[in-house]
A and B are shown apart, each in its own frame.
Chain A
Amino acid sequence: MTFAMVVNVSQIAQPFVDENFGWILNVVFYLFFIIFIFYGQRIQMYVMLKEVEGSLLRLKYIKEEGRKIAIETIKEIGKPSHDPSERVDRFLEYFALPPESMDPAGVVWKLEHILDVRDIRFKDEVKLMAPSASETQINNLENTLEAALALNYIYKVVRHFYILGKKTLSLYIIMQLQMILPLVMREAEAYASALKAFAYGQPIGDGVGALVAAKLMHGHEKRKIAKDCVVATVPLEGRTAYVIKAEGPGGNVGKPGEAMKTIIEENDGKISTIIIIDAALKLEGEKPGEVAEGIGVAIGGPGVEKFKVEESLLKHRIPINAVIIKEDVGDAVSPMRKEIFEAADEAIKRIKRVILEKTKEGDSLIIAGIGNTIGIGQ
């Protein structure tokens, strides 16, 4: 039936095809030409907007998934008497304003104070949301909520520029957004996988520094040295090593700078060297889990802890070494990869080599494992 209809249409169209077809094609061609001359940029802009819209929808989906995971985990672990959804939604909108830096003297301490207040506020909120959670679970829940907060923020910023671009029809706003989107999406996806890791308390790639320290201090007596930080005195290659890490297995990074400063002061500055182990972002083409050595304070974050260590180093003229384990941004916040986990042993070998080469027998030194210690005990 359909075939017969097509045959009929073909017969009807025959004279039309013969006489006018070339003329129509010419008109269509010129029309396309004119349209693309005047509206080419606008068409390009709409294509870009459509692309951004697709990514924005995906971001929205990831953000909502993050919120859902956070609420479910709070309900499961914290056993709250009321529905925590409203409190979670309020938490997702929290912000911390950086201090004024017009007069930069003392800005580090102001920033540290703001970060401390933020941390206390977050912990208090989580305790209210999840009254039955243990200290470790509170730390993990705080990390889960922070990942959900980050996703919410990324979504809102991208949505802001999308709507702004649509309102102003500015090619430059839309183009910049479209160009940066692949990197933004990578980060959002990394946070999405981090959510599950935080909710379950699984070790993440960023914790490889803490894992190295944990391996070194395991079986030795530990004591608390600074906020959320522990130290163990470990005999290593005939030297005395003060091994520092954040207190696990709950998710926190502690204050390693403060801890190192305290150890240096306890020893009256008689520290022959400091070795810092941390995860570092790899460049494309490098393999995850590659270990590299260098000089400098390998502590990320807002810079407060790095500043403290640098001040103490300068005061006592202590040499500083860094061992880094390379990984990409996705690996850093998602459950630890096998390659990164295995790199911890390679990093320990490097540390021992540095100790043998740079210190004498009987010396004291500091080894600090930096990073989020979620899922890693000591």
Chain B
Amino acid sequence: MELDNRKGERLAEKKSETAGTTETTARRISSFVIVVIFVTLALSLVALYFAVDIYQRNEVAAGYFFLIGFVGLALSSYMLLQMRKRVLKWRIKLPPIITIIECQKCGFKNIREFKRGDYVFKEMDACEKCNEPMMITGIYREIKEPKKKEEKF
């Protein structure tokens, strides 16, 4: 319940829709988290500056400052990257759906995007070539998988 009220407001949606394809984006990154990340980033840079500055006089302290600086830098960069990843993850993306219309007599094929009302074995308009009625012979989505390393198993 608490979650509903508090976080629900943060949902901002952007939606664009074409026939058969939907792309939706939602962002929910609190401004407080962003401020914390950037403050950490700034402090890490200051720590690194201190480290360089006092290196000649106190090597041990400089070492500690280097450590703090690098750890802070790594943490804040990691959090920034994670934030970007989360935004990308929130997209629901569907690949386009293809409808294949085929002439049963001459084999002429027409491939187009899916339209509402299409179904497999639906009779369509006459064929451009032989004037025989055409038919929907296939409706499917094609997924182009990114090239992966060949798996061992």
Binding site for B on A (CB under 8 A): 6, 9-10, 13-14, 17-18, 21-22, 25, 53-54, 56-58, 60-62, 65, 159, 162-163, 189, 192-193, 196, 200-203, 211, 214, 218, 248-249, 285, 334-338, 340-341, 375-378
Q: Which residue of A lies closest to B28 (CB)?
A: A57
Q: Which of B71-79, B125-133, B137-145 contacts A (4 or more CB under 8 A)?
A: B137-145
Known: A200-B116, A201-B117, A249-B122. A338 touches B49 (CB 8 A): no
The answer to whether A193 and B140 have CB atoms under 8 Å apart is no
A13-B50, A337-B141 known, 7 other contacts, Cβ within 8 Å: A18-B57, A53-B7, A335-B140, A335-B141, A336-B139, A336-B140, A338-B141
Q: What residues on A are CB-neighbors of B3 within 8 Å?
A: 53, 56-57, 159, 162-163
13 A–B contacts, CB within 8 A, in A order: A10-B50, A10-B54, A14-B57, A21-B64, A22-B61, A57-B3, A60-B4, A196-B20, A196-B94, A214-B121, A248-B119, A335-B139, A335-B141
Q: What residues on B are CB-neighbors of A193 within 8 Å?
A: 92, 94
B16 within 8 A of A: no
The answer to whether B92 and A65 have CB atoms under 8 Å apart is yes
Known: A53-B3, A57-B28, A60-B8. A14 touches B54 (CB 8 A): yes
The answer to whether A200 and B92 have CB atoms under 8 Å apart is no
The answer to whether B119 and A25 have CB atoms under 8 Å apart is no
Within 8 A of A (CB), among B25-49: 26, 28, 46, 49
Interface pairs A-B: 8 shortest CB-CB: A249-B119, A377-B121, A341-B140, A335-B141, A376-B120, A338-B140, A338-B142, A375-B119
The answer to whether B114 and A200 have CB atoms under 8 Å apart is yes
Q: Helix, strand, loop or mixed for chain A's interface?
A: helix
The answer to whether B114 and A202 have CB atoms under 8 Å apart is yes
- Nearest-Cβ distance from residue B8 to partner chain A, whole angstroms: 7
The answer to whether A375 and B141 have CB atoms under 8 Å apart is no
Known: A193-B94, A249-B119. A202 touches B139 (CB 8 A): yes
- Nearest-Cβ distance from residue A194 to partner chain B, whole angstroms: 11
Give the bracket for the number of chain B residues in contact with chain A: 35 or more
Q: Which residue of A lies closest to B8 (CB)?
A: A60
Q: Which residue of A lies closest to B95 (CB)?
A: A335
Binding site for A on B (CB under 8 A): 1, 3-4, 7-8, 11, 13, 20, 22, 24, 26, 28, 46, 49-50, 53-54, 57-58, 60-61, 64, 86, 90, 92, 94, 97, 114, 116-122, 138-143, 151, 153
**What separation, in Å, do the CA atoms of A338 and B120 have in the docked complex?**
14
**What separation, in Å, do the CA atoms of A110 and B26 have in the docked complex?**
45
The answer to whether B46 and A6 have CB atoms under 8 Å apart is yes
**What separation, in Å, do the CA atoms of A54 and B114 have in the docked complex?**
34
- Nearest-Cβ distance from residue B138 to partner chain A, whole angstroms: 6
The answer to whether B143 and A335 have CB atoms under 8 Å apart is no
**What separation, in Å, do the CA atoms of A316 and B54 have in the docked complex?**
93
**What separation, in Å, do the CA atoms of A145 and B78 have in the docked complex?**
41
The answer to whether A62 and B61 have CB atoms under 8 Å apart is no
**What separation, in Å, do the CA atoms of A249 and B99 have in the docked complex?**
15
The answer to whether B141 and A336 have CB atoms under 8 Å apart is yes
Q: Which residue of B lies closest to A17 (CB)?
A: B61
Q: Which residue of B lies closest to A249 (CB)?
A: B119
Q: Which residue of A lies closest to B90 (CB)?
A: A58
- Nearest-Cβ distance from residue A118 to partner chain B, whole angstroms: 26
The answer to whether A22 and B120 have CB atoms under 8 Å apart is no
Q: What residues on B are CB-neighbors of A13 within 8 Å?
A: 50
